């Protein structure tokens, strides 16, 4: 459909549609990236890496449209918040796309390494939570659903808790057998990327709250990532 710019309203709708389109691409990229890691599918990984370009160019389109709208229409109050929020959300989505692309790249690097399937289970669990958060927060954006956004915001502690657990698990594998180090390091970065994706979903949730309510979320964001202070004793009794 040709989007001839008819009115301000039409432009706002167009902005929403572009963001939704971008969201769809990012959701797909994240899903494909993790699937390529899990199933060791280099073809899927390459597709995912290539898809990031479309996301970047959509972000530019959204930026241009939003800036030109601000300049020409001089929006006020709710509309101004909406346009600024779209800009911010597009930025977060672009970052999520980058992080997902990075997972796809790592899957290329470890495609030939042998590994026990149990290693990927924790990561899979994390990826599922992150994909769910991303879907819910995008749905919340489209429906301006503050409550749904807050749910995503709170659910981020689950991803963090899982990340802590996966972090410990991977460290233990590395200590058990140094031959695991190469693979586990890539998986560790993959887990970190997913954890960061969760944080960006939380950012989007905060933006939605601001957009709908007109005031920022005052509480501190729930933070549960403790891996920066985690050390594991080299005690063989630790593993069960």
Partner 1 sequence: MPTPAPRPFLERLPGSGRSLGAIAAGVAALAGGLAAFGGDVLMVVAALAGAAAGFVAGEIWRGTAGPETDATPPSPIELPPVRAPRPVPSRAPELTAQSLMDALPVPTIIVDETFVVRHANRPARDVFMALREGGPIALATRAPEFARAIEAVLTDGKTERVLLHERVPVERRLDASLSPLEADGGGVGAVLIVLHDNSERDRLAQMRADFIAHASHELRTPLAALRGFIETLQGPARNDAVARERFLGIMGSESQRMSRLLDDLLSLSRVEMRAHLPPTGEVEIVETVREVIESLAQIAKAQGTEVTLDAAVGNRMIRGDHDEIVQVFVNLIQNAIKYGNKGGHVRVTVSDIRSGASAWVRVAVTDDGPGIAEEHIPRLVERFYRVDDKSSREKGGTGLGLAIVKHVVTRHQGELRIDSRLGVGSTFAVEFPLDESK
Where along the sequence are the contacts to partner 1 (CB under 8 A)? 1, 9, 12-13, 15-17, 20-21, 23-25, 27-28, 31, 35, 82, 118, 121-122, 125, 128, 131-132, 135, 138-139, 142-143, 147, 158, 161-162, 164-165, 168, 240
Tokens of 118: 């149990």
Find the shortest distance in angstroms from Cβ 129 to partner 1: 9
Nearer to partner 1, 64 or 182 (CB): 64
Query: Least CB distance from residue 65 to partner 1, whole Å?
Result: 13
- Cβ of residue 206: shortest distance to partner 1, in angstroms? 18
Q: In angstroms, what is the minimal distance from the CB of 163 to partner 1?
A: 9
Question: Crossing angle, helix 42-73 and helix 77-109, to 10 degrees?
Answer: 160
Q: Are 121 and 50 in contact (CB under 8 A)?
A: no
Q: What is the Cα–Cα distance from 162 to 152, expressed in whole angstroms? A: 15
Residue 77: CB minimum distance to partner 1, A:
12
CB closer to partner 1 out of 2 and 219: 2
Whole-number Cα distances in Å, 146 to 4, 197, 207: 31, 20, 10
Q: CB of 128: closest distance to partner 1 in angstroms?
A: 7
Which is nearer to partner 1, 108 or 137 (by Cβ)? Answer: 137
Q: How far is CA 163 from CA 10, 74, 117, 141, 234, in A?
A: 42, 44, 18, 26, 20
Q: List Cβ<8 Å contacts ≥24 apart for 72-77.
A: 73/8, 73/11, 77/214
Q: Which is nearer to partner 1, 116 or 182 (CB)?
A: 116
Q: How many CB atoms lie within 10 A of CB 124?
A: 15
Q: Which is nearer to partner 1, 109 or 146 (CB)?
A: 146
> Among residues 114 and 118, whose Cβ is nearest to partner 1?
118
C-alpha neighbours within 13 Å on the C-beta side of residue 29: 31
């Amino acid at each position: 459909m040709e989007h001839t710019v008819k009115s301000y309203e039409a432009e706002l709708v167009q902005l929403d549609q572009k963001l939704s389109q971008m969201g769809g691409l990012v959701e797909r990229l994240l899903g494909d990236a993790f699937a390529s890691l899990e199933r060791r599918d280099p073809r899927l990984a390459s597709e995912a890496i290539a898809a990031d370009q479309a996301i970047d160019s959509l972000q530019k389109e959204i930026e241009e449209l939003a800036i030109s709208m601000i300049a020409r229409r001089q929006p006020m109050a709710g509309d101004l918040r909406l346009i600024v929020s779209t800009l911010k959300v597009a930025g977060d989505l672009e970052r999520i796309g980058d992080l997902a692309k990075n997972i796809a790249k790592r899957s290329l690097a470890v495609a030939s390494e042998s590994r026990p399937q149990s290693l990927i289970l924790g990561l899979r669990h994390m990826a599922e939570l992150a994909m769910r958060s991303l879907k819910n927060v995008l749905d919340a954006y489209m429906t301006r659903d503050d409550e749904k956004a807050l749910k995503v915001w709170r659910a981020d502690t689950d991803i963090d808790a899982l990340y802590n657990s996966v972090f410990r698990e991977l460290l233990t594998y590395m200590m058990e057998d140094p031959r695991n180090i190469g693979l586990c390091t890539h998986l560790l970065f993959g887990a970190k990327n997913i954890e960061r994706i969760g944080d960006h979903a939380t950012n989007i949730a905060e933006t939605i709250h601001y957009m709908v309510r007109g005031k920022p979320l005052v509480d501190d964001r729930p933070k549960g990532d403790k891996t920066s202070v985690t050390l594991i004793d080299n005690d063989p009794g630790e593993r069960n």
